[in-house]
Amino acid sequence: MADINGVVDKTESIKEVDESYVNYIREHNESGIKADLKTLAGIVIGSLISAANVALFINAGGLTPGGMTGLSVLIQRIALKYAGISIPFAPLSLLFNIIPAIFAFRIIGKKYTAFSFLSVLIFSFVTDLVPDMTVTSDPLLIALFGGILGGLASALVLNSGASQGGTDFIAMCLSAKKGINTFNYIMGFNICLLLIAGALFGMEPALYTIIYQFVATQVLNTFYKRYEKKTLFVVTNKPVEVSMEVRMTTNHTSTILDGEGGYSGQNKYIVYMIVGADQLGLVRRHIRAVDPNAFINVINSDMVTGKFYIRPVGN
């Protein structure tokens, strides 16, 4: 940490920050119920959108979405076409989600898994209740708008502090337990679903499904920022307070650099830090609370090498 040359008193600064930290923890604990209600609202709305998406676009276009939803839909169609049996969506969806949920409950965390499985429950039962409807017969429009709705629903649930279960559970468990990247395995599973659907029901719906999944992924990446990073350069006269405030609210450390105003010639300090893109608004508010006159420059970080704290899932 740079020598602050009398600009601030370290002892007083740390004392003030310690008191601020106590207040922050108190407010954080008191807001726990509000946070849970916010999560619950996001889950309900996101799950309802997902169920509507199945009725409006996925079934209408014969699309095969990825994950356990796609597997459930595919089995429904196979049973109906080749055996004349109409299987409800909910039992299949719950069956394919229950085992991953059990592992997630033990590995990822109880609250996060409970909220995520609630999302699965709502989505599964509402999907059976909503009748299929035809908005458009154009397969390209079905793929595009289905992808938009699917991506928005996923982003809403994820940003609320839960997931839509299924392969999300599997990916998180393997990442937490084995430390491996599961993207290729999940993609391989989804490709298998597409190939089976294409072989049984024609390749045209399968090809439109690729467009659907691409659009859904782009929409999700636009609204879900957990793994994106931002670099902040904060020019301030209160470097200790700013650094400690960011540390206690995000668990990210920072580096304090000496500087000088190019016009005024006054001593300045630059606090350099990298935070998650989803934390940017929180960080800016806390910096402004500490130093309303701070100059904040935010730039994108394409790659970070070294230790970078990522909040555990569900926190």
Closest by CA to 10, choosing from 250, 295, 258, 244, is 244
| pLDDT greater at residue 123 or residue 12 | 123
Look at residue 78 in the predicted model and tell me its pLDDT.
95
| Eight-class DSSP state of 255 | E
Q: Are 100 and 165 in contact (CB under 8 A)?
A: yes
Give the residues across from 257 on adjacent strands.
270
Provide the CA 249 distance to its chain's centre, in angstroms: 19
Q: Are 232 and 283 in contact (CB under 8 A)?
A: yes
pLDDT tens-digit map of 102-148? 888 888 778 888 999 999 999 999 999 999 888 999 999 999 999 99
- H or E element, residue 145: helix 139-160
pLDDT above 50 (res 29): no
State residue 70's pLDDT score. Answer: 94
pLDDT tens profile 203-243: 999 999 999 999 998 998 888 876 678 899 999 989 988 98
For residue 8, name the pLDDT band (cuts at 50, 70, 90).
Answer: very low
The model's confidence at residue 14, banded by pLDDT at 50, 70 and 90, is very low
Least confident of 57-71, 126-140, 255-269: 255-269
Of residues 121 and 309, the one with the higher pLDDT is 121
**What is the edge-to-edge ordering of all strands in the sheet holding 295-301?**
255-260, 267-276, 229-236, 295-301
| Predicted local distance difference test score (pLDDT) of residue 250 | 82
Contact yes or no for 182/113 (Cβ under 8 A): no
**What local confidence, expressed as pLDDT, does residue 32 receive?**
67
Tell me the helix, strand and coil percentages in the chain, rounded to 5.
65, 10, 25
Contacts of 138 (CB under 8 A, 6+ apart): none
In 3D space, the residue among 51, 57, 58, 95 whose CA is nearest the CA of residue 77 turns out to be 58
Task: Name all domains of the chain by residue range, CATH numbers in brackets.
Answer: 32-223 (no CATH), 226-315 (3.30.70.120)
Lowest mean pLDDT among 22-26, 187-191, 205-209: 22-26
Q: b/e map of 113-139 (b: 16 or more CB within 10 Å)? A: bebbbbbbbbbbbbbeeeeeeeeeeeb
Q: State the amino acid at position 100 in one-letter form.
A: P
pLDDT confidence bin for 198, thresholds 50/70/90: very high
How far apart CA 101 and CA 46 sit, in angstroms, is 19
Q: What is the pLDDT of residue 236?
A: 92
The residue whose two tokens read 């650099």 is 257
Over residues 274-283, the pLDDT tens digits come to 888 878 888 8
Is residue 40 over pLDDT 90?
Answer: yes
Residues 6 or more apart in contact with residue 206 via CB below 8 angstroms: 64, 194, 195, 197, 198
Instruction: Give pLDDT, residue 311.
Output: 61
State residue 249's pLDDT score. Answer: 80
